[in-house]
Structure 1
Amino acid sequence: MLQLKEYQKRALGILKRYLTKTKAFNDAALAFAAETQEEDVWGRMVPYNPVPQLGKLPYVCLRIPTGGGKTLMAASSLGSLAEFVERSHPVVLWLAPSGAIVEQTLQGLQNSQHPYRVALEQSLGQSVTVVDVAGALRLSVSDVQGGVVIVSTIQAFRRDDESDLNVYKQNGNLQAHFQNLDLAQISRLEVYRAVTGVTNTPLPSLANLLRLHNPVVIVDEAHNARTELSFDTLARLSPSVIVEWTATPAQDSNLLYSVSASELAAEHMIKLPIMLETRRQREEVLTQAVAQQKVLENLAREEEAATGEHLRPIVLIQAEANRGVEPWTPEVVKKALIDDHGIPKDQIAIATGQHKDLEGIELSARSCPIRYVITVQALREGWDCPYAYILAGMAELSAGGAVEQLLGRVLRLPRAVRKKNPDLNRAYAFSVSQNFQRVANSLADSLVKSGFEQQEARSVIRAAQGQPMLLFNQQSSSAPQPTVNPAPTIETQLEQLPQLLREKLSVDESGDVVANTTLSADEREQLKAVFPPPAPPQVGTASAPSAQPSAPKLLEPFEVPRLVVQQQGLFEVLDEQHFLEDGWTLVGRDSKLTAEEFPDQLPEGQSGTIDVVTGRVTVGTPTQLAAQSKLLEAWTDWSVPGLVHWLDAHIPHPDLTPEEVQIYLRTVVQRLIDERGLSLQALVNDKFRLRRALEVKINALRKRAEREGAQTLFSSELVQVKGDEFAFKFRPGDHNYPHPRSYKGPRTFSKHYYRMVADFDSVTGGEGDEGPCAALLDGMSEVKYWVRNVANQRQHSFWLRTASGDFYPDFVALLDKDKVLVVEVKGAGFYDEKTNVEKRQIGELWERRGGGKVAFVMTRGQDWNPIYAAVQRLTR
């Protein structure tokens, strides 16, 4: 079973929720506004930008930065999209930005061992066929009935004049798809024309086949396909839903969800930070890049000895074009590598329009010798090798397509696993320039074009030590140095500590000492002995260089006690399974689907007919498109048991037995037939909508059972608060603080546990009441540090479980005496909502059972008095 990253699951879940809302409201714009207002999406209602040519069609965008796995996510989304269009085996049109990406995507989706194919089969089943346009021109009826994905560029369909495109031409191979159609289906298709006028005979073309099936459309890097002509082209194909997957959405895209670079870093998807060094001469840049490659390769050997993972760090070199005075062309760079640095020829590859040394080469193979790849403009789109660690520019690296692509090549972390040596978790860039800041800004701009936020991009570009006169971890010889004993490194100093203490410590990329658990007072004293504070200089004397390092910053986990449940003498962190510890049953539960829960039929939407003579067709609403799809599915020879079996197979119920569920479902179906007069054929025709209604019904019954179990459990003495091994730990390091958006407001904070502060959500898009609350906590003398707690990050944020779901309070603060304050900020008008009452009850239970070590506050607007009172209770 393919395991997705948490941010991938979250993004896909939001897309599924949006599609469900669109179905329920029969309105893509209203569903978009409702979903973006959810607390864990944007925190405010975002207006929907309809495309005039596409009417009310749902057309949304998900932003995934470079290295985030958007192709895998797109393949994984097809199950939800198939559910939306009510087709078990839909037709999918997958539009990629270039022929190279089409080729790469095809290879992944067709290879049974590739994660793309695994995700595709999990979504649509093993029968799904994947073809390019040439293959689509030969599709059989059985191919389409099993589900088909057509991978293409939009250029194959996009022309002002369609007459010269194969996809619009008559194709006898497709004739069988257009047999036995009714007039409603034919009315949506291009037909043969006779002298006397139009006929009722559909033209057997690939475009018509797509129109017939109202395809699901996936658009990869959609910012390249948002012209008027592109929209006209999409409308001609009569899609049912369009989803964009891109790192850089257009300003007018309907951005449903945005994944941040910090979320990728938290899941170990990318190398960060990027260590940048500039040099004045090209020879120096090449020397530094070669030296850094050798340093990393030695570290890679140590890593392999410790973990078994093979790494071969690769340098990407951007050479100069053959113009100007003595340009460093690829051939010149290759000669310098061989003659000046002794690099063997088989370790060097040139990838340009004239030289294609990488064709047919598997760079990740252990036997591959290549360590240096030289290009000019950029490597071909789709090139991917996580072994690439170092980017070297023979001219100044500046923001632009080539640098943007090359920089993206060195960001992927091999195997998405954090390495033991922090130097192998970073990327490296060397550039010819006399202005370090200009290059840093250019690289940051390139990261923004790759999907990073501005603030994220600026923060991950780091100067090499001693920039510009030091190589990474090496002293420069360009200037005389004072004759002093070399200063011991932090690592060598740590070797003086007892082994048990050393095993708890590591050194992060900023040179800080990071503890993987909270240290005792004795252990802190041992650290002070190794890193004593520097003695103040004597008055009237000059301070000489000291070989003794100053004390590094010590970063310890911030521990928060959690609610636990005692089970047979053992304790477990309180979670949803404890609310139904003895299970639950559908026996005796409500088995009637009311007209409100399952209307006889959804209201029909409105659509306008566009004359097919111009090559444009009707684009309907979600309800109409689903109805059209039903005409292509055969619902003959169904029985009540057959329908019940299908519903049982498509409704998740891991906590209930199939026998119990089938009895319940049969009762529901029979009551719909007997009491509401719905025919079996009508229920079969509407089986997807019936399935959704039943899933909602069963989930509501499950939630009711959970609330009943929670009330019983909370009133018992089995629930306690414990720290130590049960505590939640905020762990040091920016990679342990994923957040969708960073705070960009006017306030500055000095006590936040992490360098970045997650944004404050509010219905207005500003700080709301949370900004002032954060400022209050930051200014309180009793607060050591605080965290803006990020929702939906179970591994990285503090949460309490309610019967309605996980509750992530807004702020968690560590006070004097190691006491913990948790604050949830609520607008005065939302304080008494049902879900907030539940949150308040669980927070107050946590405080009551916390033994005076913790406190919970839910504010009403900006009334901070409860916070002051809680701090006094904890610290007096």
Structure 2
Amino acid sequence: MTGFAPKTYQQQVLDSIEAYFHACHALPSPAVAFTATTERLWGRGNPYHPLSGFPADMPYFCLRVPTGGGKTWLAARSIALVNTHLLRTEHSVILWLVPSKPIREQTLRALRDRLHPYHAALREAGPVTVLDLEEAKSVPRATLDTSTTVIVATRQAFQVEDEESRKVYQNSGALMHHFDNLSPTQRDALLHEGEGAERTAPCSLANVLRLRRPFIVVDEAHNSRTPLAFDTLARFRPSGVMELTATPDLERTPSNVLHSVCAAELKAEEMIKLPVVLETEPNWQQCLADAIAKREALHALADQERRVGSPYLRPLVLIQAEPRRAGIDTLDVERVRNELSANHGIPANEIVVATGEEKGLEQIDADYTLGIADPACPVKFVLTQRALAEGWDCPFAYILVSMASLTSATAVEQLLGRVLRQPGAVHRQALELNKSYAFVVSRNFSETAATLRERLVAGAGFERREVADFVAAAKTEQAWLDWAGHAGRVAVPPVTIALTEQPDLHDIPKPVRDKVRWDSLLQTLTITVPLTEDETALLQATVTGASAAAALAQAAETSRTTAIDFFQTPAERGERLRVPQLALRVQGKLQLFDDPEVLDYPWDLPTFDAVPTGDDLRALGAGMKVAEFGEIDIHDQNGTLIPSFLPGVQRDLGLVYRPEHWDEVRLATWLCRNLPEPSLTHASKQAFVAAWVTALLRTEGFTLARANLQKFLIRSLLEARIRALRQRAVSKAFQQTLFGDDAAVRVAVTDQYAYAFHAQAYAPTRDYDGQFGRFDFRKHYYGRIGNFDSNEEFECACRLDILAQQGRIQFWVRNLVRREGCAFFLQKANGRFYPDFVCQLPGKGDQPGPILVVEYKGGYGWANAEDDRLIGGLWASLSEGRCRFVMVKDKQWERIEEQLR
């Protein structure tokens, strides 16, 4: 298996999870930690919503990842973070819940397959065992003691009401050894049956789970948000719950969304094909013919690219037919198949049917090693009715054809999810191969576009504020009707005509009647809302004269075409915004400077620094109280002492996962193995860790047994210490390389490495909502504008737009923070600098003008921004006049204007 490198947004998701887990231990409760973490990461602290029936301070969070974003890989990779940073245990039990049996089987296969990236992600947690529910009902105790055990099951499998599922709660002789030598505290925590002297705790899987405090992963969590589902999970005393979904519940039982990935990020990372190019056609046969022609064109492009080395690609068409109904003429599967064969000459082996009765896709998977993506497979058309088999996935799907006018929401959402995935998660050279296509049998384009956008929100997990840009009209004449796609950027003036006769408007439908206004005094008809062709025909029927009918037709066409004034952003007009980046010369070759670790800096871990600090000893002392007694809080009502959640979990896990009695050498070896630091030699790291542990054991009150018990906390303290020492070395090398006497030889600003703002890859965490005032921004590069941090930043943006309207700036963009795939940054020694604004200045002829970067700092921020000013100034000075940089404070707008001369 080749190595799997996470996408930037995936690593950010993992970083958010780790940050939250650290905060859970550092702050009073997971609830406080959630609000504090979201405040630090996204600029706005989100409120924490505890799950009903669970402890109020149980760690519970949700990852929102749209279709095609790799939710399962993220879940698998998160298990190592759960063990190391939340539970602080070497092994754990993970209860992995999925919505259906097909998804369960697919997940089990992938997690068990040693060649699959999902299994490799799981293995980051160390030894791992993957079980289905039947296997878990007889799992040996040794398996749980020596590996992280992942139990994959459907959510329905634990419902007590289901007779088969009751076995989870029933006594099992195969599990009796799990309950040997339990303490009274452990026995009290079990589920019991009977009353009085007859009260017993069955040796059931449910009680094994209660002992092991499982961490619960809920895949497709939007399907689980019912009181019954929550009650089921609460029975197992989980140590935490992580949800993954594209469409979290934000109202009825709100999910705690820790990290939200935007579709634009997936587009920027080449994970999905956008926009969805939509074409509507009332004649179903013509609609199908258009889709076939598009498939042939895409296939020709794919073949051209393959001849020059691109991977194999055979674009597929997914066709949603209508259900067959007795006595009614329908565009059902058989009729569409006949049309493909009889009128288009499509061979039978190029068509596969996937319905409840005909399982064509399952046969394809059985016949070909790579399924439908196998080069030997001839299939080009997949015919379905309601939905495809759950878990079926093929990025070769490019075209959705709907014979049912998008009326079946579930089927459309599912099929859209299939066509959005980018083959190989790599953009193709031909732009057409980086888009998805939808052909719909419909007369009303604007209504169909609105429905398609709604399906992207409801099913694929796109944010409503971004979908306008992700559905594009295939035909120019249909683009005129797509007012929702230009929301806030389109003017629809009324069209008035004089008529020789008064139209009879009483008999036409009210929706059409509401779009026109008759003035009997002036004998004029005003069309206030553009009319479709069908609505025009209805309006023409209200007059008798041919000249009046012709005038109405002309006015209606004008209303939906030339009368409409679309305002297009620079991005929509295809204007480019490319910003040269800092590059570093490594071994004679330039490379993008986006990681200070590439700097040539000699560093080692000095053993004289290998001593626990006072803060380290205090942290270990507090941790020991937790391990021995469990941390306690005072109950508000009656003063009763109660254990707080995470300390209680760690105490319970300490009782079931008893540490081995390691000597000092073995403990140091374990710590080294669990401190990944590729910039160090093993010998250097081992010497530092051994010296640190020796110093700890010489401290009064610290024994080898205690150090062994607290090895995860020690690992965290060592990791923080090594990180600080490495940062000190990196900062020194950074200063010498970029600002030393010969910096110009080693650092450059070149067009060879330039960040290009993609037309559809702008993904603000929050859009500007008018918080600091209203302004008609006319020169922003995108239709959306990321939120401003202060009123002064908003005023700075207004000033830039005014200068742009005066022609002194061509256009500008509100740069985003911590959105590497969507923003320009300059690398620093200890992080990245994301300037507030990037401006394209006017050029001469075909040559683009200079780039101006503007950063605004308030009074308190200015003093702490010296490193930002230094790196910004260096970037500008090395650009040979192509780039300019200014940092503004106290509304000194004249400093910006000085850069425009």
- TM-score under structure 1 length normalisation: 0.82
What is residue 374 of structure 2 aligned with on the other side?
A: 365
2:779 is equivalent to residue 751 of structure 1: yes
Provide the residue aligned with 1:505 in structure 2.
Answer: none
Change (3 A) 1:262 1:183: same
Structure 1 residues 24 and 761, CA, compared in 2 at 3 Å: closer, same or farther?
A: farther
Offset at 1:782? 2.4
Partner of 2:869: 840
**Aligned partners of 2:117, 2:591: CA distance in 1, in Å?**
38
2:596 is matched with 576
Give the secondary-structure state (helix, strand or coil) at the position aligned to 1:54. coil
More deviation, 242-251/780-789: 780-789
State the distance in 1 between where 2:679 and 2:32 align. 34
Contact 1:564 1:719 in 2 (8 A): no
State the match for 1:598 in structure 2. 619
Q: In the TM superposition, what is the alpha-carbon distance from 1:187 to its structure 2 partner?
A: 1.8
What does the per-residue CA deviation read over 1:576-630, in whole Å, with 9 as the maximum and x for residues that have no partner?
2476623344243362332456331246445899xxxxxxxx9961122122112
Deviation (angstroms), 1:461: 0.7
Aligned ranges 1:396-411 → 2 under 5 Å = 396-398=405-407, 400-411=409-420
User: What does 1:72-151 correspond to in 2, within 5 Å?
Assistant: 72-83=73-84, 84-121=86-123, 123-125=124-126, 127-144=127-144, 145-151=146-152
SS of the residue corresponding to residue 620 of structure 2 reads coil
| Partner SS for 1:653 | coil
CA-based RMSD of the aligned residues comes to 3.0
What residue in structure 2 maps to residue 31 of structure 1?
33
Q: State whether residues 800 and 806 of structure 1, in contact with CA within 8 Å, keep that contact through their aligned partners in structure 2.
A: yes
Residue matched to 2:273:
271
The offset of 1:102, in angstroms, is 0.9
User: How far 1:415 moved relative to its partner?
Assistant: 0.9
Deviations 1:150-183 (A, max 9, x none): 1111111134688962211112222222222222
Residue matched to 1:332? 335
Structure 1 residue 373: Cα displacement:
1.4
Letter in 1 for 2:608: G
**Quick one: distance in 1 between partners of 2:829 and 2:476?**
54
* 12 and 469 in structure 1: CA distance in 2 versus 1, 3 angstrom threshold: closer
- The alpha-carbon deviation at position 261 of structure 1 amounts to 0.6
Amino acid at match of 2:373: S
In structure 2, C-alpha distance between the alignment counterparts of 1:54 and 1:824, rounded to whole Å: 46
Which residue of structure 1 aligns with residue 828 of structure 2?
A: 802
1:566–1:719 contact (8 Å) kept in structure 2: no
1:377-398 CA distances to partner (integer Å, 9 max, x unpaired)? Answer: 1112212111111111112114
Aligned pair count?
770
Mapped pair 1:220 → 2:249: no
Contact 2:584/2:748 (<8 A) preserved: no
Q: Deviations over 1:680-718 (max 9, x none)?
A: 111111111111111112212222333444455565223
Runs of at least 5 residues in structure 2 that lack an aligned partner in the other structure: 365-370, 481-571, 636-641, 844-848
Query: Secondary structure of the residue that 2:182 maps to in structure 1?
Result: coil
- Quick check: 1:270–1:412 contact (8 Å CA) kept in 2? yes
Q: Report the CA distance shift for 1:390/1:258 in structure 2 as closer, same or farther (over 3 A).
A: same
Which of 461, 464, 468 does residue 454 from structure 1 map onto?
A: 464
Conserved? CA contact 2:620–2:713, under 8 Å: no
* Residue 853 of structure 2 corresponds to residue 822 of structure 1: yes
The residue identity in structure 2 corresponding to 1:291 is A
CA deviation string 1:622-650 (max 9, x = no partner): 12212211222232331111111111111
What secondary structure does 1:358 align onto? Answer: helix
Change (3 A) 1:709 1:335: closer
Q: What are the equivalent positions in structure 2 for 1:545-560 lying under 5 Å apart?
A: 555-556=575-576, 558-560=578-580
> Whole-Å Cα distance in 1 between the matches of residues 753 and 44 of structure 2?
29
Residues 113/467 of structure 1: CA separation in 2 closer, same or farther (3 Å cut): farther
Separation in 2 of the partners of 1:461 and 1:768? 33
DSSP-derived class of the 2:750 partner: helix
SS in 1 for 2:279: strand
- Contact kept, 8 Å, 1:399 with 1:445, in 2: the verdict is no
Amino acid at match of 1:593: T
Q: Indicate conservation of the 8 Å contact 2:399/2:436, yes or no.
A: yes
Match of 2:357 in 1: 354
Corresponding residue for residue 675 of structure 2 = 651
CA shift, 1:789, in A, is 2.3
Q: How far is the alpha carbon of 1:91 from its aligned partner?
A: 0.9
Q: Say which SS state the counterpart of residue 454 (structure 1) adopts.
A: coil
Counterpart residue number, 2:797? 774
Task: Note closer, same or farther for the CA distance 1:378–1:19 as it changes in structure 2 (3 Å cut).
Answer: same
Question: Does the 8 A contact of 2:596 with 2:828 survive in 1?
Answer: yes
Specify whether residues 608 and 296 from structure 1 end up closer, same or farther in structure 2 by C-alpha distance, changes over 3 A only. Answer: farther
Q: How far does residue 131 in structure 1 lie from its aligned partner after superposition?
A: 1.7
CA contact (8 A) 1:278 1:432 kept: yes
Do the aligned partners of 1:216 and 1:240 also contact (CA within 8 Å) in 2? Answer: yes
**1:377 equivalent in alignment to 2:406:** no
Q: Secondary structure at the match of 2:420?
A: coil
In the alignment, the residues of structure 1 paired with residue 229 and residue 594 of structure 2 have an alpha-carbon distance, to the nearest angstrom, of 52
Q: Specify the SS of the correspondent of 2:694.
A: helix
Q: For 2:372 and 2:769, locate their aligned partners in 1 and report how far apart those are by CA, in whole Å.
A: 40
Q: Encode CA deviations 1:116-144: one digit per residue, 9 max, x unaligned.
A: 122222x223x422121112112122322
Could you tell me whether the CA contact under 8 Å between 1:63 and 1:258 is conserved in 2?
yes
**Cα deviation digits, residues 447-497 of structure 1 (max 9, x gap):** 012111113212111111244599xxxxxxxxxxxxxxxxxxxxxxxxxxx
How far apart, CA to CA, are the structure 1 residues paired with 2:584 and 2:900? 24
Would the aligned equivalents of 1:744 and 1:759 in 2 still touch at CA under 8 Å? Answer: no
Structure 1 unaligned blocks of 5 or more? 471-551, 610-617
How far the C-alpha of 1:363 sits from its partner, in A, is 1.0
Task: Check the 8 A contact 2:749/2:878 in 1, yes or no.
Answer: no
Distance 1:313 1:566, change over 3 A: closer
- What's 1:295 paired with? 297
- Partner deviation per Cα, 1:752-809 (whole Å, 9 max, x = no partner): 34x34452253xxxx6543332222222142223232233354653322333212211
Partner in structure 2 of residue 546 of structure 1: none
Contact kept in structure 2, 1:26 and 1:621, CA below 8 Å: no
Residues 837 and 854 of structure 2 are in contact (CA less than 8 Å); yes or no, is this contact kept in structure 1? yes
| Cα distance in 2, alignment partners of residues 164 and 798 from structure 1 | 53
What is residue 245 of structure 1 aligned with on the other side?
244
| 1:351 alignment partner AA | A
SS of equivalent residue, structure 1 residue 77: helix
> Partners of 1:399 and 1:267 in 2: how far apart?
30
Name the CA distance, whole Å, in 2 between partners of 1:77 and 1:337.
46
Contact 2:632/2:643, CA 8 A, preserved across alignment = no
More relative contact order in 1 or in 2 (CA 8 Å, sep 6+)?
Answer: 1
Change (3 A) 1:853 1:113: closer
Q: Percent identity?
A: 37
Q: Does 1:231 align with 2:258?
A: no
SS in 1 for 2:96: strand
Q: 1:140 to 1:556 in 2, by over 3 A?
A: same
Q: 3-state DSSP class of the match of 1:11?
A: helix
Query: Matches of 1:44 and 1:425 in 2, distance apart?
Result: 34
In structure 1, what is the Cα distance between the partners aligned to 2:76 and 2:596? 30
CA offset digits 1:352-405 (Å, max 9, x no partner): 212212113211111222222122211122121111111111121147222111
The match for 1:390 among 399, 403, 414 is 399
SS at the partner of 2:278?
Answer: strand
Aligned to 2:208: 209
TM-score with structure 2 length normalisation?
0.80
**Counterpart in 1 of 2:710?**
686
| Aligned 8 A contact 1:579 1:803 in 2 | no
Report the residue type matching 2:670 in the other structure. W
Aligned with 1:374: secondary structure?
strand
Query: Counterpart of 1:455 in 2: which secondary structure?
Result: coil
Distance 1:856 1:289, change over 3 A: closer
Is 241-250 or 317-326 further displaced after alignment?
317-326
Contact 1:318 1:392 survives alignment (8 Å)? yes
1:664 deviates by: 2.2
CA contact (8 A) 1:86 1:630 kept: no
SS at match of 2:823: coil
C-alpha contact (below 8 Å) 1:273/1:426 kept by paired residues: yes
